[in-house]
Amino acid sequence: MAATETHAQYVMGETVRLLDGPLQALLHPALPLLVAGVVAALAPPRLRKALLVLAPLWGAWNLLGFTSGDLVSAELAGFELILLRVDKLAFLFALLFHLAALLAGIYALHSDDRMQQVAGLLYAGSAVGAVFAGDLLVLFFFWELLAITSVFLIWARRETASTRSGLRYLLVHIASGVLLLIGAALHWIEFGTLVFERMDLGSAASWVLLLAIGIKCCFPLLHTWLVDAYPAATELGTVYLASFTTKTAVYALARGYEGCEPLIWIGMAMAMFPIFYAVIENDLRRVLGYSMINQIGFMVCGVGLGAGLGVNGAVAHAFNDVIFKGLLFMSMGAVLLRTGRINGSELGGLYKTMPQTAGLCMVGAASISAFPLFSGFVSKSMVMTEAAHEGYVVVWLALLFASAGVFHHAGIKIPFFAFFAHDSGLRPKEAPLNMRVAMGIAALLCIAIGCFPNALYALLPYATDYHPYDTTHVVQQLQLLFFSALAFVTLMLTGIYPPELRSTNLDVDWFARRAAPRTLRVLAAVGGAIWYGVLAGLADVLKVVRSVVRWLHSPAGRLGEPWPTGTTVFWAATLLGLLLLFSYLGSAL
């Protein structure tokens, strides 16, 4: 493999470092995790657990050897593939994915499930490979590997419901990969290149690729796979799933569609509609699933706002979301592990025997709610500030409403109904030590980033002098949180707040999972009746024809009478003449 100077155009303004010198001693950033996953498939339990921690550390150490501008390419079947392209955007997401893999690995140390451990490592490696892909074919390879490896984290629960959910999940993500491949082919036909860089929504390829990315990014009407599949996974599987697929899609949007205005409105819709589902949802992991779509909406909106504070805000919020949403999923996973329950109507009072998990969950809740001194405060505000600065007042107001909604369904509802609501009578043990360590590290990161945001800002794609702790922003956010809390308390005391009930909430997947099959069954029944009616009618007609033919050839029929010799010769001569005529015409033509 070799890089050439002609590749300098592929790296946004960066100087290309050829594959020589120190770069030769480095592995592709995805390899440490992928190799560890392959080794773990054959390793004994202790070695597998060691790999869960050591592989992300090894990968991060290897990653630090790369600098912006590093590029590696190879030729395959006449196509020049860019296997590695390093810039600040890719580096930040790769660093994030190694951190997420480390936290999930520590969280998984209590388990001996080979399937989850292997799938988790391979899944993380696939995400790292995707963010360093310099062309659409390499991206397609890791895009599909993401789907194939992650589905085993759902099937690892080994229940009928999770098996079916995993099949639906796989179908959706394979469809996304097929669309990505079609988009790559169209891009090659239209532009003669497969390089994955920013594109305008002016070609068929750009729209197809946006749809492929939008599926993984949970665009409205394409979002139901997440709230269907993630709660069906194991407590460990959901932590892995929450970290990689959607954030890889956010990366792809930032790479390919920076500044595309339709994303502003798509992101606004994503930030809004999940709030209403999350408020009435009983399954607390499904609440977090809707909350994840809500947070991705802020990221999509930031990408649409374009270079500078918009993209920086989207990327920074993606970084923070992996940590605080992972913390919330880890705390709910601990509850599920210890109680076997996850519905808000069946929980409550767990703070008495799980105080550490409850406290760490509250740190995650404060972070996602954007409390000052917590990580969400220093990233979410970047997107909202840019929306206001660019004159999108309606978008700013919608995001403000969405921020209040987040505090309701994730900041208050999750810890309140899991740990502090009515006493369920459950007295489970505290979460295993390794789970508490992983949650503790995530909580410390939430607080550290909230208190010292410049460390994160230094990693962002564009230089920024944004200062989140100005008086206006702090006072505005505290007012928002105060009145949101007041609204929650008022609704609870008046009995207006939707109660936690054992129920099934309908989403747009109802059309595919219920309406479509029922409609097809009705159409099949009606079509079958019509078809059998037509066949029966044809059978009756054929019976009549057969009767007529039999009568004509019977002794009493016209064709049953003996023909005179002259008549027979006449018809034979006529047929022979016609045959000769057709033969002549055929040879002439």
Q: CA dihedral in degrees (413, 277, 313, 16; nearest 10)?
A: 120
Tens digit of each residue's pLDDT (9 = 90 or more) over 510-550: 677 777 777 878 888 888 888 888 888 888 888 888 887 77
Tens digit of each residue's pLDDT (9 = 90 or more) over 353-394: 999 999 999 999 999 998 999 999 999 989 999 999 998 999
Does residue 7 surpass a pLDDT of 60?
A: no
Q: Range of 113's domain?
A: 1-196+220-245
Tokens of 304: 């649409």
pLDDT value at position 13?
37
User: Do 167 and 148 share a structural domain?
Assistant: yes
Q: How far apart are CA 375 and CA 321, in angstroms?
A: 9
User: Do 372 and 475 share a structural domain?
Assistant: yes
- Band the pLDDT of 5: cuts 50, 70, 90: very low
Percent of the chain beyond pLDDT 90? Answer: 54
Q: Read off the amino acid at residue 263.
A: L
Q: How far apart are CA 212 and CA 224, in angstroms?
A: 15
CB 254 within 8 A of CB 313: no
Rg of the chain, C-alpha, whole Å: 31
pLDDT value at position 20?
42
- Band the pLDDT of 72: cuts 50, 70, 90: confident
pLDDT value at position 374?
93
**Inside any domain, residue 27:** yes
**Inside any domain, residue 203:** no
Does residue 1 surpass a pLDDT of 50?
A: no
User: Do 353 and 497 share a structural domain?
Assistant: yes
User: Do 150 and 17 share a structural domain?
Assistant: yes
Does residue 178 surpass a pLDDT of 50?
A: yes
User: Do 330 and 191 share a structural domain?
Assistant: no
Does residue 141 surpass a pLDDT of 70?
A: yes
Helix (H) or strand (E) segment spanning residue 74? strand 71-76
- pLDDT mean across residues, the chain: 86
**Inside any domain, residue 253:** no
Q: How far apart are CA 512 and CA 269, in angstroms?
A: 22
Helix (H) or strand (E) segment spanning residue 80? strand 79-85
User: Do 526 and 456 share a structural domain?
Assistant: no
- Band the pLDDT of 560: cuts 50, 70, 90: low
CB 298 within 8 A of CB 271: yes
Within 10 angstroms of residue 151's Cβ, the number of other Cβ atoms is 25
User: Do 532 and 493 share a structural domain?
Assistant: no
Average pLDDT over residues 168-190: 94
**Inside any domain, residue 251:** no
What is the rounded end-to-end Cα distance, in angstroms, of the chain? 62
User: Do 292 and 150 share a structural domain?
Assistant: no
The total of structural domains in the chain comes to: 3
Average pLDDT over residues 25-38: 89
Average pLDDT over residues 129-143: 94
Which of these, 255, 48, 260, 233, lies nearest to 156 by C-alpha position? 233
Specify burial of residue 207 (Cβ count, 10 A radius: 0-12, 13-18, 19+): middle
Does residue 239 surpass a pLDDT of 50?
A: yes
Percent of the chain beyond pLDDT 70? Answer: 90
Last residue of a domain, one of 507, 535, 552: 507
pLDDT value at position 359?
94
Tokens of 264: 């502003």
Tens digit of each residue's pLDDT (9 = 90 or more) over 457-493: 999 999 888 899 988 888 888 888 888 788 777 777 7
- Band the pLDDT of 589: cuts 50, 70, 90: low
Tens digit of each residue's pLDDT (9 = 90 or more) over 427-436: 889 999 999 9
CB 313 within 8 A of CB 326: no
Average pLDDT over residues 343-356: 89
Helices and strands of the chain, counted as H and E runs: 22, 2
Does residue 407 surpass a pLDDT of 80?
A: yes
**Inside any domain, residue 61:** yes
**Inside any domain, residue 467:** yes
| Of residues 572 and 99, more confidently modeled | 99
Tokens of 134: 């310099």
User: Do 527 and 578 share a structural domain?
Assistant: yes
User: Do 130 and 107 share a structural domain?
Assistant: yes
User: Do 239 and 276 share a structural domain?
Assistant: no
Helices (H), 306-354: 309-339
**Inside any domain, residue 297:** yes
User: Do 271 and 240 share a structural domain?
Assistant: no
CB 285 within 8 A of CB 233: no
Q: Read off the amino acid at residue 305.
A: L
Entry field: residues in the chain? 589
pLDDT value at position 502?
63
**Inside any domain, residue 214:** no
Average pLDDT over residues 290-301: 94
Which positions ≥6 away from 358 have C-beta within 8 Å? 331, 350, 351, 415, 418, 419, 420
Q: How far apart are CA 520 and CA 222, in angstroms?
A: 22
- Band the pLDDT of 561: cuts 50, 70, 90: low
Tens digit of each residue's pLDDT (9 = 90 or more) over 191-205: 888 999 999 888 899
pLDDT value at position 488?
74
pLDDT value at position 95?
95
Last residue of a domain, one of 245, 280, 313: 245
Which of these, 373, 382, 374, lies nearest to 328 by C-alpha position? 374
| Of residues 515 and 174, more confidently modeled | 174
Last residue of a domain, one of 447, 472, 507: 507
| Of residues 487 and 115, more confidently modeled | 115
